Amino acid sequence: MTIIDGLLAELEQEAATTRRVLERIPQEHLSWRPHPKSMSLGQLALHVALVPGLVAENAALDIASPNSFIQPEAATAAELVPALAESVAKAKRALGTYDDAKMTAIWRLQKDGRDVLAMPRVAFVRAIMLNHWYHHRGQLLVYLRLLNLSVPSVYGPTADENPFAA
């Protein structure tokens, strides 16, 4: 088993959970935001859908401008699940050919050719593709609760859904 095998298995498992969350995003609330400094629901949901593919396809990243991190907003709630499916497929294609040597090679985030962040690719995939993804998925769950919408089970029961109940 290679380093990437475990990460790809986790990606697959978490994609199914993320899909359940994205399926709950209502069209009528896409422009809603809990605070003026927060992303809208449509921006956050699309970001969650796109993270795996965007992160996995970046062998290295040079931040050209502060606008590099502007988040587009989903035009429709219906586009979110297909966007996630394509993103996960991109991530699998990009990472699936990596051997242990590529996974331990240094990944770099640069600004104007200067390293801002440098770490082994395995740490990058764990921290930015997976942990970052989970963080934003958790934010989506809070948005759903603040909108008084049903919150799906992620790792256990919620007030709305209990996968362990008979």
pLDDT(22) > 90: yes
Structure tokens at 96: 């699936």
Q: Across residues 5-30, what is the average pLDDT?
A: 97
Domain boundaries, the chain: 3-63+94-146
pLDDT, the chain, mean: 92
Q: Across residues 89-111, what is the average pLDDT?
A: 91
3-63+94-146 folds as Four Helix Bundle (Hemerythrin (Met), subunit A) (1.20.120)
| pLDDT tens digits, 41-63 | 999 999 999 999 988 887 666 66
| Rounded CA separation 38/139 (Å) | 10
| pLDDT tens digits, 112-128 | 888 888 999 999 999 98
Q: Across residues 54-79, what is the average pLDDT?
A: 78
Residues 6 or more apart whose Cβ sits within 8 Å of residue 49? 18, 22, 74, 80, 81, 83, 84, 87
Q: Across residues 25-51, what is the average pLDDT?
A: 97
Per-residue model confidence (pLDDT) at position 73: 95
Where are the extended beta strands (E) located within 10-155?
Answer: 61-63, 106-111, 114-120
This prediction has a pTM of 0.91
Q: Across residues 157-165, what is the average pLDDT?
A: 92
Per-residue model confidence (pLDDT) at position 62: 61
